[in-house]
Structure 1
């Protein structure tokens, strides 16, 4: 751990020039005292770090101190920089490790690729925080300590004890055999087995986690992509799924399809509106999805959904009948 931190410290000074001890401590997530000890150790090992006093002082490297990595072409460097972008840092609690790795990659780039690759990377943006309608994308906030414990159990092949809060239930402790981690649209999932049965847990609902010493009972090899597809299929075809017949304006068709779990049938009505048969996760999901589309969609069946939407619309209309209180 300390060796990695020492390398990161050197790379920070190489890439950003003179930096105060407080800034180095913040970047490396350690105390200022630790930074000062690390600088003393690097100096003793022959790394040319010197201190500048004064208001704008700090620590810096003598010019020309550098490492070089050959064989990395422009597109390879660009790909690494894109992966290390802001959105990439959120995956599985590896933000600090990824930031450290990207500093090493950037420092090792041949001079001929460094400026062109970073310039090109600024012109490519992966998953910004908001869409064109200025709707902010929600990102799950999962404590690093919990993610680290889960990740160690997954990679180390040990059983995992989690304090899990399932939807609508009281949190309970469960001991599982972890299989792998999956992230989909900024939502993280733990694939595991419990008493030999497949289980999928939402990471944001894990309140605490503890890696156990006992080996996990799981296959030696796993095709994580296939496992995820199989569980997704079971999810879509089981539980309290609701199938709805709906009329929707053509321009809102894709929005409806993205919200639904599946589209089973589709035809065009005489007025060019579309008639779709779609499946939702449950009744609440169906009501919410149709409500978002306003008058651009009409639920034709089942009747309970039409009734629920009418009652909701009536309640909203009643709310706005009277003038607001001053």
Structure 2
């Protein structure tokens, strides 16, 4: 919208001083002619903006014309500009908004703090995605956001991670959480706090009835409860498997959450024309690893030996049923 663009021009000039029309045009993704028309509009509205022609010229505000916000300390200003990669904002449809918001905040900072905040934004970047891990497939968060912001119940079809089974749920959502680059829906199911990975949601729809959250309970409270439950779980049993590359499209969606650091892909083994990729997983019990048998000869458990023996016995018993 033109009003947003006019405000952006004003804030850019307050932050950077004199700027050429072509640079403003590039920053705002419009033509230089549009910028000049916007400058005329600002001037007509009483903003003391002027242009200088020729080499070294540009557009600027009269000295002293600034919007200042007091009350921020130097450290508070720096904290605002320790940037996280914009992937989460993009997932929420807010990618373009984050740049605009930061320009406005930068222009509103007290002048003594502005240079330090700008330096922090260019020198520190937080990327929450685990190194070399396969990112989850893109997730459409639109319906989830609508349920969260309009306080409505949510129906979804979900593929469980522990066994790959599909289930239907009617949920009372509290909100969305981005944890290490993965989106989670935090919700109550039958009054009990549950966590649902967004990339395992197969379908969603809004219910007509309003949400029925527990009274006085907020998203941060439920997330803290669920996070502590996960953090306090026993370490479980480390398992190393190797999977045919041709089966990865089925294996990764089911077992990505069971992979451990360091990076999940720890090796590549070739046998003839076959390629195997090795993964480190962790299961709570040997029994919870039994669904690995569903991959038949596309997956081999390398360790521990007791799991190999257990799966071998079950495979032999299954084969005996068909002889």
The TM-score, its normalising length taken from structure 1, stands at: 0.56
Structure 2 CA distance, aligned partners of 1:163 and 1:41?
52
Work out whether 1:188 is the aligned partner of 2:219: no
Q: 2:237 aligns with which of 233, 244, 254?
A: 244
1:232-269 deviations in Å (ceiling 9; x for gaps): 5767999xx9953889xxxxxxxx9757xxxxxxxxxx
User: 1:216: how far off?
Assistant: 1.5
Work out whether 1:301 is the aligned partner of 2:306: yes
User: 1:113: how far off?
Assistant: 1.8
- Is the 2:12–2:107 Cα contact (8 Å) retained in structure 1? no
Structure 2 CA distance, aligned partners of 1:166 and 1:37?
56
Structure 2 CA distance, aligned partners of 1:87 and 1:305?
45
Cα pair distance change 1:34/1:140, threshold 3 Å: farther
User: 1:75: how far off?
Assistant: 0.8
Within 5 Å, give how 1:82-231 maps onto structure 2. 82=82, 84-86=83-85, 90=89, 93=92, 94-127=94-127, 131=131, 136-140=132-136, 142=138, 146-160=140-154, 168=164, 176-194=171-189, 196=191, 198-206=193-201, 214-231=209-226
1:120-175 deviations in Å (ceiling 9; x for gaps): 454444237775xxxx35444646xx435433431332334557566656797x65
Cα pair distance change 1:170/1:300, threshold 3 Å: closer
Within 5 Å, give how 1:271-310 maps onto structure 2. 279=284, 282-283=288-289, 299-304=304-309
Q: 2:26 aligns with which of 23, 26, 30?
A: 23
Cα pair distance change 1:62/1:158, threshold 3 Å: same
Cα pair distance change 1:111/1:300, threshold 3 Å: same
- Is the 1:242–1:286 Cα contact (8 Å) retained in structure 2? no
Structure 1 CA distance, aligned partners of 2:142 and 2:193?
22
User: 1:81: how far off?
Assistant: 0.6
Cα pair distance change 1:162/1:122, threshold 3 Å: same
1:252-299 deviations in Å (ceiling 9; x for gaps): xxxx9757xxxxxxxxxxxxxxxxx97369428999xxxxxxxxx952
Please give the secondary structure, in 1, of the residue aligned with 2:304: strand
Structure 1 CA distance, aligned partners of 2:20 and 2:196?
45
User: 1:31: how far off?
Assistant: 10
User: 1:103: how far off?
Assistant: 1.3
Structure 1 CA distance, aligned partners of 2:15 and 2:217?
40
User: What are structure 2's unaligned runs of at least 5 residues?
Assistant: 241-258, 263-281, 294-301, 314-323
Please give the secondary structure, in 2, of the residue aligned with 1:119: helix
Structure 2 CA distance, aligned partners of 1:213 and 1:10?
44
User: 1:108: how far off?
Assistant: 1.8
Q: CA RMSD in A?
A: 5.1
The TM-score, its normalising length taken from structure 2, stands at: 0.57
User: 1:98: how far off?
Assistant: 3.0
Cα pair distance change 1:81/1:178, threshold 3 Å: same
Structure 1 CA distance, aligned partners of 2:167 and 2:56?
52
User: What are structure 1's unaligned runs of at least 5 residues?
Assistant: 248-255, 260-276, 288-296, 309-326
Please give the secondary structure, in 1, of the residue aligned with 2:176: strand
Cα pair distance change 1:74/1:301, threshold 3 Å: same
